[in-house]
């Protein structure tokens, strides 16, 4: 049996210590993705289903017979959709951790208070990356081509991840405010559906009624979709990309502190 060490306890966690805690918890999240086949399967099948459905159901109608033209048009939008819906997983996992008592274990340990949240969010970046990769790869099998250049496409992926990093705090907030996993799903979809579909992600804005166009034009999903189209298939990039980043920053600045506050108040 080991003897009991009796050092004088530290007063607080250093920033470095907090980052170390965060990386440990990121490792945990990534490990969970690797061991949870259902999650991996869901992450991959969802974008594949979306791609098949939207391309072949809507494609012909929207671009009059040419599914390939539509695929080129919709894929950047589908990337946005996939990533935004994937952020719901962050809220779900946080909710699960809270209801199962895993978060209480973390809170009873001498670690940085923000580390469990930051670890969960960072770990989820891997999930987002997987869904983005599957979307692009399967899109390419269907005939999608990057018509700009690889560097621009990489920038496009990075922009998506930056945006997801902001959106997942919205999801985290929902995950902590709502009692059950079903609740997280329901509220998440109520919040995200109008945002995702009330945009130019699947169809051009021109045919929409004026009031809807007004919403679609300010919707951050539209801005991000414009930037992604610019980066993957050509068009203006600078303005929508900067506006996307500003949106991401705005969402982060509002929702991350809110989520941290709710998390702390749970003590």
d(CA 35, CA 255): 30
Residue 217 binds to another protein (criterion: CB under 8 A): no
Determine, following the binding rule CB under 8 A, whether residue 28 of this chain makes contact with another protein.
yes
| Angular region, 111: left φ>0, alpha ψ -120 to 50, beta rest | beta
Q: To the nearest whole angstrom, how small is the minimum distance from the Cβ of residue 38 to another protein? A: 11
Count of residues binding another protein (CB under 8 A)?
35
Q: Which of 3, 37, 207, 209 binds another protein (CB under 8 A)?
A: 3
Nearer to another protein by C-beta: 31 or 57? Answer: 31
Q: Map residues 94-133 to x or -, x wherever contact with another protein holds by CB under 8 A.
A: ------xxx-xxxxxxxx----------------------
Q: Are 76 and 162 in contact (CB under 8 A)?
A: no
Q: Is 31 in the site for another protein (CB under 8 A)?
A: yes
Under the binding rule (CB under 8 A), the answer on residue 182 touching another protein is: no
Query: Cβ 246 to another protein, closest distance in Å?
Result: 35
The interface with another protein within residues 36-55 (CB under 8 A) comprises: 36
| C-beta closer to another protein: residue 126 or 208 | 126
Stretch that binds another protein, among 31-39, 49-57, 70-78, 238-246 (CB under 8 A): 31-39
| Class of residue 28 by CB neighbours under 10 A (exposed 0-12, middle 13-18, buried 19+) | middle
Give the residues lining the site for another protein (CB under 8 A).
1-6, 8-13, 17, 20-21, 24-25, 27-28, 31-32, 35-36, 100-102, 104-111, 267
């Amino acid at each position: 049996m080991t003897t009991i060490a009796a050092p004088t306890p530290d007063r607080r966690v250093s920033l470095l210590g907090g980052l170390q805690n965060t990386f440990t918890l990121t490792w945990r999240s990534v490990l969970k993705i690797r061991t949870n086949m259902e999650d991996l399967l869901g992450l991959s099948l969802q974008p594949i289903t979306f791609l098949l459905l939207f391309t072949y159901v809507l494609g012909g109608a929207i671009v009059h017979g040419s599914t390939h033209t539509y695929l080129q048009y919709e894929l950047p939008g589908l990337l946005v959709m996939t990533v935004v819906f994937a952020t719901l997983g962050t809220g779900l996992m946080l909710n699960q951790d809270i209801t199962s008592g895993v978060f209480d274990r973390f809170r009873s340990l001498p670690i940085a208070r923000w580390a469990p949240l930051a670890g969960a969010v960072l770990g989820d970046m891997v999930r987002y990356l997987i869904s983005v990769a599957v979307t692009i790869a399967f899109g390419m099998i269907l005939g999608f081509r990057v018509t700009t250049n690889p560097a621009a496409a990489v920038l496009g992926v990075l922009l998506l991840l930056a945006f997801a990093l902001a959106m997942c705090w919205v999801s985290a907030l929902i995950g902590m405010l709502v009692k059950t996993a079903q609740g997280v799903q329901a509220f998440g979809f109520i919040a995200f559906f109008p945002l995702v579909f009330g945009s130019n992600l699947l169809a051009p804005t021109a045919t929409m009624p004026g009031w809807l166009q007004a919403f679609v034009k300010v919707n951050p999903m539209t801005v991000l979709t414009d930037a992604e189209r610019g980066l993957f298939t050509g068009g203006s990039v600078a303005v929508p990309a900067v506006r996307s980043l500003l949106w991401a920053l705005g969402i982060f600045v509002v929702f991350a502190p809110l989520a941290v506050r709710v998390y702390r108040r749970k003590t």
